Each structure stands twice: as structure tokens, then as C-alpha cells.
Amino acid sequence: MVRKLPPRAWQRMLSGRRLDLLDPSPLDVEIEDIAHGLARVARWNGQTHGPHIFSVAQHSILVERIFARIEGAAPVQWRLMALLHDGPEYVIGDIISPFKAAVGDAYKSVEDRILTAIHLRFSLPSTTPRACAKQIKLADKASAYLEAIHLAGFSPEEGDEIFGRPDVSLRNLESLMAPMSSQEAEARFLETFRDLEASLTSAQD
């Protein structure tokens, strides 16, 4: 009798790593894989204006920039967690909020395990501190508001009703609102990560 193997739960990355989605190891997490994947995952299921998708990589950069405005004196660790807040989507994709609510806890459980592995890989707290998570959520909603009315066809009134008008200055963020090619988004994400990582290393010396 042929023994039936359990379903495959890992994905091979371009780095050669195999990330187990159900039991992810920090040792299988590489920032280049994250940047590459997020730059090719579309926000809003691709329903945005422009010749390119508005990627999760680009969204992540925008969230980090807004987070820095909300929490000007935040530790560099917190800014790095803001940049990586959607990191799991490099391997499980982006699901719009209404569908996440329908899927329920199963998706959230997988997402949380992968995010923990990402944090541990880059020497961050396994769980985002509550105060930091609250500010990341505010930055995430502000980014969603901007994306909705500038890229995804929402009216300003709908943006106000669904996401709430952000209570932070969003001026001079225009350069981050124009959808980039996947290559540019990947490069910009990596550049932002490495700048923050270098600042974190410097602060710890």
C-alpha cells in the first residue's frame, strides 16, 4: 500500500528557501524574497488606475512614511515593523478586508505565524507592541484612504465614510502615489529596509 503524503505546505522562493506556511522558520525568511513578492502583489485586487499595479511593496513604503509622521520620535524598530506590517503577503497574497472578514480566523492565524517569523528573522519583537500596532493601524488606514480616493475610484465622501479622514498631514506624498513598475517598487522597498536596518544597527552600537 502506498503511503499518502500530507499536502505540501511550503513554497519555494527564488532565493532557494522553502518557507513552510504552517510552521514558518525565521531561517527561511529573506528580505529579497519579501521585496520581490510584495512588489508583485496588487493592492485593491488590481482595481487601480495607472499603467502598473499599486503593489503591497509600495503601500508598505507609504505606510512607513505616514507612520513616521504620526510617531515622529518612534524607535527605528517600530518604523521597521511598520514597513514589514504586510510582510506575510509576499507568500499568501493580499486579501481585501471584506473577504478577510468572510474567511475568518484561519487566514489570520497563518498571517500571524509568518509575521512572527519575519520579525524574529530581523531581530524584532515577535509580537508588535500594542502602542506600535495602534499607530501602524492609523498609518495603514491613512494610506488606504489616500489609495482609495486617488487610485481605486472611491469618492472623497466614500473615503471619509469607510476609512475616516486621516488626522495627520499627508502633504508631499504624491511621489509615492504614482504606481511603480514591479522592479522599481522592489528596489525602493529594499532601499527603505536597508536604510532603516542601518539606522537600527547604528543606534545599537
In a domain, 23, yes or no: no
Cβ count near 190 (within 10 Å): 17
In a domain, 147, yes or no: yes
Average pLDDT over residues 2-19: 84
Q: What is the pLDDT of residue 92?
A: 92
Q: How many domains does the chain have?
A: 1
Q: How many CA atoms lie within 13 A of 69 on its CB side?
A: 18
Q: Tell me which residue range forms the domain holding 184.
A: 29-204
In a domain, 22, yes or no: no
Read off the pLDDT of residues 38-69 as tens digits, 9 standing for 90 and up.
999 999 999 999 999 999 999 999 999 999 99
Q: Which of 21, 27, 17 is nearest to 7 (CA)?
A: 21
- pTM of the predicted protein model: 0.92
Task: Count how many residues are written for the chain.
Answer: 205
In a domain, 21, yes or no: no
> Binning pLDDT at 50, 70 and 90, where does residue 95 land?
confident
State the distance between the two ends of the chain, measured CA to CA, in whole angstroms: 60
User: How far apart (Å, rounded) are the C-alpha atoms in residues 104 and 111?
Assistant: 12
User: How far apart (Å, rounded) are the C-alpha atoms in residues 203 and 205?
Assistant: 6
When mean pLDDT is compared across 12-16, 100-104, 140-144, 191-195, the lowest value belongs to: 100-104
**Cell numbers placing 173:** 506624498
Read off the pLDDT of residues 147-157 as tens digits, 9 standing for 90 and up.
999 999 999 99
Q: What is the pLDDT of residue 2?
A: 61
Q: What is the pLDDT of residue 115?
A: 97
In a domain, 46, yes or no: yes
In terms of C-beta density within 10 A (0-12 exposed, 13-18 middle, 19 or more buried), how is residue 62 classed? buried
In a domain, 24, yes or no: no
Backbone angles phi, psi at 20, to 5 degrees: -80, 115
Read off the pLDDT of residues 98-135 as tens digits, 9 standing for 90 and up.
777 777 677 888 999 999 999 999 999 999 999 999 99
In a domain, 195, yes or no: yes
Q: What is the pLDDT of residue 63?
A: 97
Average pLDDT over residues 83-87: 97
Q: What is the pLDDT of residue 5?
A: 65
Helix runs in 71-181, H state only: 76-83, 89-92, 97-103, 105-121, 130-150, 156-162
When mean pLDDT is compared across 76-85, 119-128, 149-158, 172-181, the lowest value belongs to: 172-181
Q: Which of 72, 36, 10, 31 is nearest to 194 (CA)?
A: 31
Average pLDDT over residues 131-146: 94
In a domain, 44, yes or no: yes
Which CATH number characterizes residue 123's domain?
1.10.3210.10
Per-residue buried b or exposed e for 7-39, using 16+ beta carbons within 10 Å of the residue's own CB: eeeebebeeebebeeeebeeebbbbebbbbbbb
